[in-house]
Amino acid sequence: MSDSGALDELYKQVILDHYRSPRNRGELSAPAVRAVGHNPLCGDEVIVSLVIDNDQMITDIMVSGSGCSISQSAASMMSVAVKGQTASAARETTRAFKEMMSVHEDSLETDNSNRSNIESAAPGHHLGDLEALRGVVKFPVRIKCALLSWNTLLEAIDSAGNSDL
């Protein structure tokens, strides 16, 4: 399958690009909320800090941490995807991303073309660079690496919801 080979190569480039040139890298100071996520299986750490304004909009987000290329590039992609979204839209994007990963995993054995499955699992969601991470599910141990920043994002959003915003 030369097509999927070329696609894998493209995805690899996207992941490496985010790993080498991480977007929104750093930490925001108060009043930003902050959450720290760990993936002990791989030794990854992701720190998400974000600001949610009175309209529930994520006006700023930064990520830091250390770990494998998958965890860190996924964190970079996540920050780009949800910056400027509302908190509820970011939850929905998280859901779509997790769905994409699990749909791909389920259909890995039988279906070489998952795009239509992804469209139906997450209609109207253009995950863009995030789709590069679909290749990760070929390595199940790495799925936790890809999901770490998203779970940490949800934690940060939840803690923002608990403040008096």
Separation between Cα atoms, residue 150 and residue 92, nearest integer Å:
11
By CB under 5 A, tell whether 68 contacts Zn ion: yes
Q: Does 75 bind Zn ion (CB under 5 A)?
A: no
Q: Which is nearer to Zn ion, 45 or 131 (CB)?
A: 45
At its nearest, how many Å lie between Zn ion and the CB of residue 35?
Answer: 18
Closest CA to 35 of 64, 78, 71, 60: 64
Q: How many residues bind Zn ion (CB under 5 A)?
A: 5
Q: Which of 81, 91, 79, 68 is nearest to 141 (CA)?
A: 68
Residues 133-152, one symbol each (x = binds Zn ion by CB under 5 A, - = not), give: ------------x-------
Instruction: Dihedral sign for Cα 102, 103, 108, 114, please.
Output: negative
Which residue number, 32 or 67, has a Cβ lying nearer to Zn ion? 67
Residue 71 within binding range of Zn ion, rule CB under 5 A: yes
Q: C-alpha angle with apex 159: 82 to 64, nearest 5 degrees? A: 55
**Binder to Zn ion among 42, 108, 121, 154 (CB under 5 A)?**
42
Residues 14/21, Cβ–Cβ less than 8 Å: no
The binding site for Zn ion (CB under 5 A) comprises 42, 44, 68, 71, 145
